[in-house]
A and B are shown apart, each in its own frame.
Chain A
Amino acid sequence: MSLARPAKCLLCSFSRAAAPGTRVARRQFHSTPAILSNRKSKFPNIKAPSTSTNPENYKSYTKEEKEALAKEYSEAQIKAIEAGEASIDPKDMAEQFRPRDDPLKFKYLDDFSVVEPGIDHHVRAPESNTDYNFKLRKDDDFVEDFGRFFAEMPDNATGLDYMRFANSLRLTHGKEENELNPNSSMVPDLFGPGETVDEPRVEEQTTASERGEKERSVAAEELTDALKSLLLATGYTASQINEFRIKTLVMHSVVNQTRLGKVRRAYRLSIAGNGNGLLGIGEAKSEEPTDAKIQSQYRAIRNMQPIPRYENRTIFGDVKAKVGAVELELMHRPPGFGLRAQSLIYEMCRAAGIHDISARVNRSRNKMNAVKAAYDALMSQRDPEEVARARNRKMVDVRKVYYAGRV
């Protein structure tokens, strides 16, 4: 053996380079080529904390930045910003602050940029704006104003100049704020000028293209006659129907034996729910499977009925139902239990907005009858209020009392 080995210290054998240089592939039991070296990702990933903990991101404002801020904010706001900056050490910020990306972070529906009259504290002009001694201006005063306007009018006067004059024209003597921004004890209007329930206010309006959504108007979709009559009968809009949870649960073919032979047709059973207490089932048969599916879905939407829910999460009491040979039992469960039921009942509960339930299906498990029986069971719940009135006794929900009505 005359292989020359480089001289190495003893400790070098622990380091990575000292490991055997070539790796010999072991026996392969598959056709995929063996990876001989430690594979590295093509795209190096950056961990979330490293972006936020970079001290470069938390520096105090430079002079130029402050000047730029001064253009945007008032003096008082700039002072507040500076005070805030001074109170927090940028080093602490870099070490401790991290934008939350965990699943429990609070999801705001609003960016709080607009004062909502129904929700927020009313913004009112201060009482000091009121001037009790104001007097209406006379005709002479207006004549004087117009005279001054014509006298001071530049040679190349435009409509803009007149607009500026008309806006600055005042109708009263006294405090200016009293006329322009009077104090009022009346509650502000819920809707701003030109705003309705359906139309958002001007500053909140964003077009679909701005939001990056696909252009999808009702006219573009070309409503079918069936959908039109559904919209007419139910009063829902096409967009509302798009948001319903619709699912076709049972599909098989049925055969009618006639003199001429067997006539096969497709059978579909669908459920529809709004995820908030409404659920309906619909079934349809047709030569065309797609036709049967759509028919059954529309019938399910037509048949949607409110389902009693306890605390909007589970059912009132345990209920049983029987359709054909399917006998099933639905059981109410505590919060956080989840939907531990077979697939069909699970889908129905999801569509109806029930979150805690367990079910047991006895005897037959025919899909069609199971869905019908589950629907019957959900509809057969007894309302405790009704029970109390029927028995002429007072009934109290102890959970509600214990949690002071906050459940």
Chain B
Amino acid sequence: MSLVNLAHVCSHLNNATKARLGLTSIPNSNLHLKLCQALQNSGYISSVVRGGPTPPPAHPILGFPTASDEVEGVEAITRDNVASRRLWLGLKYWRNEAVLGKVSMISKPKRRVNLNVEDLRLIVRGYEGKHVAGLRSPGESLYLSTDRGILEARECVEKKIGGLVLCRVA
């Protein structure tokens, strides 16, 4: 789990939303894929597709590439092409503002922050817990890497599990 690469992804997403990109790509890794799927579940991004160095073709109706495209399909990973795979993310905008706000790392490559359920309960209710600021604004989320995959902080509280804090989305 390389937090260095994850930090690069976070700042790349910030740059992409500021530049008003509709589709952007990040290096392919299982961590990045799981995090992007969690973001998609929360509605921050519209699509996550694993593709090559060029953007995958857009869905004829939706207008952006989707993993469930029956016509084009998704190229299978082989030993030959795995190194050139990238994750293509569809970014969302609403009322002239990016839906994905600022993405910032909480854990750093040199200092990983683990939170237990008690701390998470505080954070979800808007209080500070273990030097992690509470979720006090509408639409703020915190993503954690747990033994049940990458989950949002509120889901973690629901399932009573803690984990390694990855990033905060405002």
The answer, yes or no, to whether A389 is at the interface (CB within 8 Å) is: yes
**Pair A393/B138 contact, Cβ less than 8 Å:** no
**Per-position 1/0 for A145-182, Cβ under 8 A of B:** 00000000000000000000000000000000000000
**Pair A332/B43 contact, Cβ less than 8 Å:** no
The answer, yes or no, to whether A222 is at the interface (CB within 8 Å) is: no
Given known contacts A390-B94, A391-B99, A331 and B136 CB-to-CB distance under 8 angstroms: yes
The answer, yes or no, to whether A59 is at the interface (CB within 8 Å) is: no
The answer, yes or no, to whether A34 is at the interface (CB within 8 Å) is: no
The answer, yes or no, to whether A317 is at the interface (CB within 8 Å) is: yes
Told that A316-B137, A317-B136 touch, could you supply 13 new A-B pairs with CB distance under 8 A? A318-B136, A319-B137, A331-B136, A332-B136, A387-B139, A390-B92, A390-B99, A391-B43, A391-B92, A392-B43, A393-B42, A393-B43, A395-B138
Which size class do A's interface residues fall under?
10 to 19
Q: In the bound complex, how far is the Cα of B43 from the Cα of A389, in angstroms?
A: 10
The answer, yes or no, to whether B79 is at the interface (CB within 8 Å) is: no
Question: CB within 8 Å of A: which of B138-152?
Answer: 138-140
Minimum distance in angstroms from A405 CB to a CB of chain B: 18
The answer, yes or no, to whether B88 is at the interface (CB within 8 Å) is: no
The chain A residue with its CB closest to the CB of B97 is A390
The answer, yes or no, to whether B64 is at the interface (CB within 8 Å) is: no
**Pair B42/A387 contact, Cβ less than 8 Å:** no
**Pair A316/B138 contact, Cβ less than 8 Å:** yes
Contacts of B139 in A (CB 8 A): 382, 384, 387, 390-391, 395
**Per-position 1/0 for A112-129, Cβ under 8 A of B:** 000000000000000000
**Pair A382/B42 contact, Cβ less than 8 Å:** no
Contacts of A390 in B (CB 8 A): 43, 92, 94-95, 97, 99, 139
Given known contacts A389-B94, A390-B94, A391-B99, A384 and B42 CB-to-CB distance under 8 angstroms: no
Q: In the bound complex, how far is the Cα of B42 from the Cα of A390, in angstroms?
A: 11
**Pair A386/B95 contact, Cβ less than 8 Å:** yes
Minimum distance in angstroms from A360 CB to a CB of chain B: 13
Minimum distance in angstroms from B66 CB to a CB of chain A: 15
Instruction: Give B contacts to A, CB under 8 Å.
Output: 42-44, 92, 94-95, 97, 99, 136-140
Instruction: Give A contacts to B, CB under 8 Å.
Output: 316-319, 331-332, 382-384, 386-387, 389-393, 395
Minimum distance in angstroms from A342 CB to a CB of chain B: 20
Contacts of B138 in A (CB 8 A): 316-317, 382-384, 387, 395
Out of B44, B95, B136, name the residue touching A391 (CB < 8 Å): B44
The chain A residue with its CB closest to the CB of B41 is A393
**Pair A317/B137 contact, Cβ less than 8 Å:** yes
Minimum distance in angstroms from B165 CB to a CB of chain A: 19
Contacts of A319 in B (CB 8 A): 137
Contacts of B137 in A (CB 8 A): 316-319, 382
Minimum distance in angstroms from B53 CB to a CB of chain A: 30
10 smallest beta-carbon distances between A and B, as pairs = A317-B137, A391-B43, A390-B94, A387-B139, A384-B138, A390-B99, A393-B43, A318-B136, A392-B43, A317-B138
Q: In the bound complex, how far is the Cα of B136 from the Cα of A319, in angstroms?
A: 10
The chain A residue with its CB closest to the CB of B134 is A318
Minimum distance in angstroms from A384 CB to a CB of chain B: 4
Q: In the bound complex, how far is the Cα of B13 from the Cα of A363, in angstroms?
A: 29
Most buried by A among B42, B43, B44: B43
